Amino acid sequence: MSFSHTPVMMAEVLTALAPRAGGIYLDGTFGGGGYSNAILTAADCTVWAIDRDPDAIARGAELARLFPGRLHLLQGGFGDLMRLLAEAGIDRLDGAVFDFGLSSFQIDDPARGFSFRHDGPLDMRMAREGVSAADLVNGLPEAELADTLYEFGEERLSRRIAKAIVAARALAPITTTLRLAEVIRAVVPPDRSGIDPATRSFQALRIRVNDELGQIERALEQAAAMLAPGGRLVAVSFHSLEDRIVKRFMTEATGRTPAPSRYDPSGLLARPQARFYALTAKPQRPGDDETYANPRARSARLRAMAAHDLPGQDIAGGVS
C-alpha cells in the first residue's frame, strides 16, 4: 500500500509537535501511519509507533521499510506505552502524539463491526481479542446495559434502548451491526441533527469493549512522565468524553487549576512550579477546507503542552 492516508489536522499536529533531527517521538495511535510518515519526513528522527490492532502493525511493515532503523512498531495498547517502550530500551521521549479517533481502516471494514453503515459481525474489538460488543449486548443485565449506553454514549434514552435490546435478544441473539441498529432505530426517533439514532449507542459499546477512556488516562500520564525537557505532547480528540479527559489532564499538568478559596488554609502555601506549559490556550479546530474534504474531521479538537526545561527535576517522576 502507499501511505497517502492523511490523518486529521496533520499540519496543526506537526506544528505543535515540532519534530527535530535526532529526536525520539511516539506515535501512540499508528492506525494508517499518517502521523508517523509525516514526522519521519519532517525531520531525521526516530518514531516508535504503537497500535493494538494487529492489522495496523502489519500495514506498518511497508512504511518501516521506507525508513529503515527509524520507524519501530510495537503492538499493544497505548495505555501500556511506558512498559512497551521500556522493553525496547526507551526511557525518554522528545514528543508524543495521539489521535484518539477510530481508525478509518476499522470503520470502513464491515468485518470489524464498528459501523452500522454496512452489515457485519457485532465485534468492535480493536485488538481482535477479549469481550466483543455482541457479548455485551447479549449478556449484560438490562440496568448495566443502560448505564453503559448513558455513561459512554451520553445517550439520554439509554433505558428505553436497553429494554428494547433485552426484548429483541430474547427472541434471538443480536449478532450483527445492522440488527442492533434496527432495534435502536425502532425506539429512538431521528433528531434534527441528522445523526443516526444508533450512533451514540455504538460509540458507548465500542468505548467499553476497548476500555478507551481508561487507556487515554493512562497514556497521557505515562507519555507526560517520559517527556524530556522541551518535549511536547499533542492529543487529538473526537468527542466530549475524550476531550474532557485531555483538557482536565493538561489543565492540571500546566498548573492552570483554580487557586483555592481564600478561606482554604492550603491557599497560603506556595504552589509548586508546573513542569509543563500549554501550547494551545484553547482547543484547535480543523479548518473549513479540511472538514469539507473530510467530514469525519469536523468534531476533532487538538490540545498540546510542552515540558519546561527545569534543571534538577526528576523527569520520570510524573507531572506536577
The model's pLDDT over 42-97, given as tens digits with 9 standing for 90+, comes to 999 999 999 999 999 999 999 999 999 999 999 999 999 999 999 999 999 999 99
Strands (E), 87-222: 93-99
Task: Compute the distance between CA of residue 105 and CA of residue 227 in angstroms, rounded to an integer.
Answer: 30
Instruction: Pick the more confident residue, 274 or 78.
Output: 78
Residue 171 CA to chain centroid, in angstroms?
A: 36
**179 close to 191: Cβ distance less than 8 angstroms:** no
87 and 25 in a common domain: yes
CA separation for the pair 315, 225 (Å, rounded): 6
The number of residues making up the chain comes to 320
For residues 33 and 5, is the Cβ–Cβ distance under 8 A?
Answer: yes
pLDDT score of 318: 35
DSSP helix/strand/coil, 88: coil
Which one of 210, 235, 266 terminates a domain?
A: 210
Q: In whole angstroms, give the CA distance from residue 150 to residue 143.
A: 11
In a domain, 3, yes or no: no
**For residue 249, what is the domain's CATH number?**
3.40.50.150
Query: What is the domain range of residue 146?
Result: 109-210
Looking at the fold, whether 131 and 206 belong to one and the same domain comes out as yes
Q: pTM of the prediction? A: 0.88
- pLDDT, tens digit, 9 for 90 and up, residues 122-147: 999 999 899 999 999 999 999 999 99
Domains held by the chain: number? 2
Helix (H) or strand (E) holding 233: strand 227-237
